[in-house]
Structure 1
Amino acid sequence: MIGVGFGIVSFEILKYFQLFDGFSKTVISAINVSVVVGFAIIFFLLSKKVFRNIKTILDKLEEDLKEKAISEVISGTIGLIIGFIIAFFVSQPFYMIQVPYLGSAIGIIFYGVFGYLGLKLGLTNRDTLSVKFKDITSSLKNPVVKEKEKSKTSKMNGIPKILDTSVIIDGRIMDICDSNFLEGSIVVPVFVLEELQHIADSSDGLKRSRGRRGLDIIKEMQENKNLDIVIFQGKYDEISEVDSKLLQLTKDLNGKIVTNDYNLNKVAAVQGIDVLNINELANSVKPVYLPGEEMTVQIVKLGKEHGQGLGYLDDGTMIVVESGKNYLGETINAVVTSVLQTSAGKMIFAKPM
């Protein structure tokens, strides 16, 4: 059937260019039949191999689709449909060309090109499309809740600050928010809450207490009417790692990630994502002591070197007091002799007055 169709099309094109002028109707009919039969024989001989290859391609396509996530299939389909729609409007002027079947051939090319581009763009932006699709689905299922969430999200002020699990468990974020050093909305992703819940349900006592502490901190922050706390409901199911979800969410919201995780800080910096590191903030606001200044310190334990005593400031800065062994357990006045900056923070060396 395909060969017959091609034969008829070829003959009609030849007639359009008047290549058969001067021939009798009998000769034209004979040529017509010959062309049709010729194409029919050619495609009959090739059909077995052609359809075998088509079946192989379809089987491979089916196997590839089985390995794809549903989000990829949906986003690819959406991109393909959009590409076909664009191709439809772009190809319409070419159908006005008077050459038979030329407009159709150009239209097929446009459909192939724009369909492929739409498919690739859909797969490339599958994460964003997935989030949008989930938002639309959830709004259809529960429009009241979605409207509340949309209203709350629309009230975001400034640049959103996205909290990770470690900074919530750390607890200092609540004091920083109370001091109004962080402007804008504080975003807590739902997948971070789920991770906190898993930690709180752990059989390990220490992990369990840390998880519960994190959940309590979120609750206290929500009760603070001066804070704009937003619980982001997008789960990014197609991304497995929580840190990767945080980075993608930060990109989508054009926000900044708040963390004290060293590795997450480095990965975010590589991807060009702004990071607010709590540990860096704590180090930058530690009090500055210069040699010769006086301070009050409590000697709480012995140092590594002979006769040394150790004390600590409220922020955890270690103070090494020469000859402080004799003052163990006492609070004394000391004079700063030097300050050493290390990778772990500052160390202050002093001697009793």
Structure 2
Amino acid sequence: MTAMEKITYRPARDELAYTFGGRMPVAHLRSGDVLEVSTEDCFGGLVRGPADLPSQVCRMPYLNPVSGPFFVEDAEPGDTLAIHLASITPARDWGVSSTFPHFGALTSTSHTATLQPPLEERVWVYDIDQQAGRMRFQATETDHTVELPLDPMIGTIGVAPGGFEARSTIVPDTHGGNLDTPQLRAGTTLYLGVNVHGAMLALGDGHARQGEGEACGVGIEIATTTTLTVEVIKGVPTAWPRLETDQAILSIGCARPLEDAYRIAHHDMVGWAGSLTGLETLDAYQLVSQVGRAPIGNVCDPNYTVLAAVDKPLLPTPEPAYGGVHARLRQLAARLR
């Protein structure tokens, strides 16, 4: 990697993007560079209290903005871009969540049409205490409260799709996008296949925390200051998004119906585990079947997100994934701290 440079980017409101692809880059990165980027919440900061109903203060399609895209030098189709999330810090001392009419897992939608009335639109505000690492859930109809651990994540991160496509930031797919998995927290490395010259990385949609599945369709939405590092892995393609932590490797599938997202993730994991260990396909399939986990990212976006996760110690003598890039970028992030 070349010598590290730190790039800081804070977009103005009219510089936010709502697609992956179809945008000019806002800055250039090289392998080993550090990017500190400000991101806005999925509502663009317009929902700030119970009276700010998203249907009234937000306007489609201007939801789920991302910061970027960032042109990554030397990234070409057929390469893989590794992005290590070094830190994700809430930019405000509050976050918001909501229910929407015709949106979420437990209501009728355009794809699951029923005659029952839509859910009531309602907003919840969460007070965030960063020093204590906590936030407070406050029921809207009673006095019930509970303290929740702060667990910041990035909901939407991806690169430009191939074939001159521009994809809405609400959609997760092979390019990444609105993956909405809590696994995208600080300390995680994301691997994305490069589809266009420069990769065109963009991110946003921070959550203070989110349950597996994001059942109501909305996490605890926050603006963030996110610091990340990147490395281009030349000549190594990655068909579907992958994650690596100190403890595990994870494959991501995005599709509808949910079982297809599950199949994509586990098909990729069987192949990945086999390539890292030398296991024959059915042996790898058997091992993944017995030690794997399947956390759900979301069940409300245009594509659903399912992960296949395997703890590294349960793989027989694995090779380091992608030549050990996660460890290299983690060390770089540690130097930043």
The structure in which a higher percent of residues are helix is 1
Structure number with larger C-alpha Rg: 1
TM (normalized to structure 2)? Answer: 0.21
TM (normalized to structure 1)? Answer: 0.20
The structure in which a higher percent of residues are strand is 2
